[in-house]
Amino acid sequence: MPTSEWPPQEKMQFQLALRRRGVSDLAVLRAMEDVPRELFVAAGDRADAYRDVALPIDCGQTISQPSVVAYMTEQLQSKPFHRVLEIGTGSGYQAAVLSHLAGDVVTVERFRLLAERARERLARLGCRNVEVVLADGCSIPDELGHFDRILVTAALPDIPEALVARLQPDGVLVAPVGPQSGPQALVRLRKTKDGVDRAELIEVRFVPALSGIAREI
């Protein structure tokens, strides 16, 4: 896959910032280094591509700050033999990071424009193990099957049982949970033989998950 041509000093600062934020998984750090974030932001925001800030993208959505992307990815604990579902493709940046860590990635987006542009970016980068699906992330199509890992990149009021049911045994789901205008927590679920273990990790702020496929774009 092509790597970023961003100035090495800025990329080094980027990696140091992630480590200072507590990200320590070397595979995740390598994936974050290898994915050129500047290709996933608007042209006018490229000077800020490696700052630890969220940036606006099309359709009123955002690309999360790198430290949050790295932390969520680390909590997912993806392995090369895992099949991963991402709900909320956005720019495609998170899917590109996951493509370096998982065997197969299915990413679902409700906005046609975002899905098409993410598909183009991922193809340009050679992310052949990523499938972009235009679908309702709140009602995953049955034909997509089950997954070892599920990552949600929009805030849910709570995690639906139907989504937990898509996890394979010992599967992990990571999602922001909480109201649009109130406190949200990043939640990690692990499916065990005895049930589901739930842990609240950090406070976060995400746009809300919306149902249906967007009609206008």
By annotation, the residues acting in catalysis are 64
Asked if 76 contacts 179 with a C-beta cutoff of 8 angstroms, the reply is: no
DSSP per-residue codes, 201-213: EEEE--PBP--S-
What residue type is 172 in one-letter code? V
| Structure token digits, residue 45 | 């925001």
Residue 182 tokens read as: 């109130």
Which one-letter amino acid corresponds to residue 111?
A: F
Edge-to-edge order in the sheet of strand 167-177:
130-134, 104-109, 83-87, 147-152, 167-177, 184-192, 195-204
Provide the 10 A C-beta neighbour count for residue 211.
9
CB-CB contact of 112 with 59 (8 Å) = no
Residue 193 CA to residue 211 CA, distance in Å, equals 31
